[in-house]
Amino acid sequence: MSEIRQDRATKRWVVFATERAKRPNDAVKRGETAPEPEYSEQCPFCPGNEAKTPPEVIALRPAGGAPNSPGWQVRAFANRFAALRPEGEVHVQNPEWFTSITGVGVHDVIVEHPHHNESPATMTAEEMLLVLEVITQRFAQLRGDHRLAYLALFRNQGVAAGSSLHHPHTQLIGTPIVPAHTRQELATAREFYDDSVCCVYCSTMEHELADGRRVVLDNDHYCAFMPYASRWPFETWIVPKHHEPAVVFDDRFDITSFAQTLQSVLRMLYLAAGDPDYNLVLHQAPQRDSCEDYYHWHMEVVPRLSTPAGFEFGTGIWINTVMPEEAAPYLRSFAGQ
């Protein structure tokens, strides 16, 4: 008998199809891809090729050096094929029927490492920390931009996850609208708070820690677990223990511990699931809607080990073939390697 589970924080239903159930290691990626070189002449993100990208907005150069030249450890610039552009103001057009707004916003690329063939799974926690420092600096710069309603941070690893360039990078899109998924998460979290006077993410984390079976990693500042109603095999959430609706830039955000936690989770996934393609997405409160009582920022890692099809796109119900109670201990067995 299959089981249909509901995620409390999103009200999302997921079918666990036990008739086609797989052991966690049956869901992992098969087949070898050719190793990439440390430097690629064609790659616009490799050191020495800075002229192939728009000018940098932030870069870390531990040993100094001129902007837009080699010597950087992490480097951020506008996406050359940006979905949104920072020029101009937001205008609403044709409000009668065919509504649109001008595509004003930001779309950054943050190159995470000088080496073409690195990934967070093979980087050190110290290198990950430098990436997070650039991201939080960029967040701080964009907090004051009145045109940006939401800052979406995401990472696409591999072709199946929508990445077109191998060189390790994260992207940041600042949108002039609050995304529909964010609005839905906020509405569900607010309703839960109004009914129970507690945060649904705090409560979920407490219940997951008490149950323990789906917990991947637990430290003083963060908890990583596979949600009870995971949509994808090995889906993992990283949730801060300190309730905070968005990433902040003071000592309430333990950035060093977050770098260690994120790197450890991605390392375990890399080893357990055969270097899978995945998306990493930050969920946080909108820029001008602080949602302090009821929302709670977190990071979702969704390995692309299955292909969403007509049923998932049409209904929003997901079918998962791997139980998180089986995937989590398998992932944990790779801890510290």
Q: Which of residues 70-89 bind its own copies (CB under 8 A)?
A: 81-85, 87-88
Stretch that binds its own copies, among 41-49, 120-128, 172-180, 255-263 (CB under 8 A): 172-180
Distance of CA 119 to the CA centre of its chain: 14
End-to-end CA distance of the chain: 36
Nearer to its own copies, 39 or 154 (CB): 154
Contact status: 319 vs its own copies (CB under 8 A): yes
**Total chain residues near its own copies (CB under 8 A):** 75
Contact status: 159 vs its own copies (CB under 8 A): yes
Residues between 252 and 291 with contacts to its own copies, criterion CB under 8 A: 279-283
For 243-267, b/e burial (b = at least 16 CB within 10 A) is bbbbbeeeeebbbebbbbbbbbbbb
Q: Which two tokens stand for residue 87?
A: 């020029």
State the residue for tokens 């009870």. Answer: 228
Contact status: 302 vs its own copies (CB under 8 A): yes
Stretch that binds its own copies, among 1-9, 35-43, 58-66, 244-252 (CB under 8 A): 1-9
Contact status: 249 vs its own copies (CB under 8 A): no
Nearer to its own copies, 83 or 140 (CB): 83
Q: Point out which residues pair with 281 in neighbouring strands.
A: 154, 300
CA distances, 181 to each of 68, 174, 237 (Å)? 36, 15, 16
Contact status: 212 vs its own copies (CB under 8 A): no
Distance, CA of 279 to CA of 4 (rounded, Å): 24
Minimum distance from residue 172 beta carbon to its own copies (Å)? 10
Contact status: 163 vs its own copies (CB under 8 A): yes
State the residue for tokens 């997901």. Answer: 318
Residues between 13 and 32 with contacts to its own copies, criterion CB under 8 A: 13, 15-20
Residues between 91 and 130 with contacts to its own copies, criterion CB under 8 A: 97-104
Q: Which two tokens stand for residue 297?
A: 């920022």
